[in-house]
Amino acid sequence: MITLGIEGTAHTLGVGIVDDECNVLANELDMFRPKEGGLHPREAANHHSDVVSTIIRNAVEKAGISLSDVGLVSFSMGPGLGPCLRVAGTAARALACSLGVPIVGVNHCVAHVAIGRAQCGCDDPALLYASGGNTQVIAFAEGRYRIFGETQDIGVGNMLDKLGRELGMGFYAGPIFEKLAKEGDRYYELPYSVKGMDVAFSGLMTAAVALQKKGVPLEDIALSVQETAFAMLTEVTERAMAHIGKDEVLLGGGVAQNNRLRDMVADMAHARGAEMYVPDRRYCMDNGAMIAWLGAEMYNSGVRMDVSETAVRQRFRTDEVEVTWRS
């Protein structure tokens, strides 16, 4: 069966096409980039509305199939920005109804786990999910993906983007932070907010802005921010692995593209005698392939949804999903 998945939780409108072996036939996307300021949900949704038909056509062409070959449509039901989610949901319902095929709404966070397991070949990892809107340590236990630790304020990617705007870097500042940090040569101590297996980034962000006002070079600020934030994430991931007895760790989310975070988690895993896995960068960021693959897994395990059951859920928690496709 061929599954087409539509991702639209935040800044990216993506369409992925996979088969039942998780061979990715297409993974097309278009990212909304605001001209100034941050991400406005309505502006992002308007962008998604403008490009969704084109991205679907591009994905079908890339896959070398016709729409009549699609046997299932899945979409990101949540969590995410309401206006963006509604565009993806509306497009998915319209496509499924026009093709006369089933539809499945999936949890965006769980989709990161699903594509990571399939692409990396890991069995039962703890996932460090580090993205703009979400920062969680997730693992499978008792039929659900449980959240063993998470941010208490904002996601690490959101922190980097907000701080980047404050420091004059522009939006989507994560890659800029990584580049500048490589040129930094002095570490400045910043608030290290870890409580059990939870983290918080607001204090770090405020302190970093204060450093700029004191004349500290951006390179040193970037170095200090990355070292502090990523050490926090690595610590809570290790604590979760020890708590639940996992010997595999999987990275997911857009921030997982950062090489410094990868190195720190890899060092931790090596010290524990564990294995670290990271999917291809195309599957770390928001993408339609992961939505398609999770939809296929859910459908093949017996999950069925009526169109009336596919309303979007902005606050769709990871641990609300009953995982029927693995034991």
Quote the DSSP letter at residue 151: B
> Domain 2-112+283-320 maps to which CATH number in 3.30.460.80, 1.10.600.10, 3.30.420.40, 3.40.50.300?
3.30.420.40
Q: pTM for this one?
A: 0.95
Q: Can you tell me whether residue 327 is helix, strand or coil?
A: coil
Would you say residue 116 has pLDDT above 80? Answer: yes
Nearest Cα neighbor of 296 from 51, 138, 101 is 101
Confidence of residue 155 (pLDDT cuts 50, 70, 90): very high
Strand bridging mode 12-18 / 24-31: antiparallel
Q: What is the DSSP annotation of 255-317?
A: GGG-HHHHHHHHHHHHHHT-EEE---HHHHSS-HHHHHHHHHHHHHTT----GGG----TT--
Contact in structure between 105 and 77 (CB atoms under 8 Å): yes
123-281: CATH architecture = 2-Layer Sandwich (3.30)
HSE, CB side, 13 Å, CA atoms: give it for residue 327: 1
Would you say residue 153 has pLDDT above 80? Answer: yes
- Cα 237 from Cα 69, distance rounded (Å): 41
Angle between helices 218-244 and 202-213 (to 10 degrees): 160
Peptide bond into 79 cis (omega under 30): yes
Q: What confidence tens digit (pLDDT) does each residue in 69-100 have?
A: 999 999 999 999 999 999 999 999 999 999 99
Angle between helices 156-166 and 218-244 (to 10 degrees): 170
Query: Burial level of 201, CB count in 10 A (0-12/13-18/19+)?
Result: buried
Q: CB 188: neighbour CB atoms within 10 A?
A: 18
Q: What confidence tens digit (pLDDT) does each residue in 34-64 have?
A: 877 778 999 999 999 999 999 999 999 999 9
Q: What percent of the chain has pLDDT over 70?
A: 100
Distance (Å) of CA 12 to CA 7, 76, 314: 7, 11, 16
Q: CB 254: neighbour CB atoms within 10 A?
A: 26
Q: What confidence tens digit (pLDDT) does each residue in 251-293 have?
A: 999 999 999 999 999 999 999 999 999 999 999 999 999 999 9
- Cα 219 from Cα 51, distance rounded (Å): 36
HSE, CB side, 13 Å, CA atoms: give it for residue 93: 15
Quote the DSSP letter at residue 319: G
Q: Where are the domains of the chain?
A: 2-112+283-320, 123-281
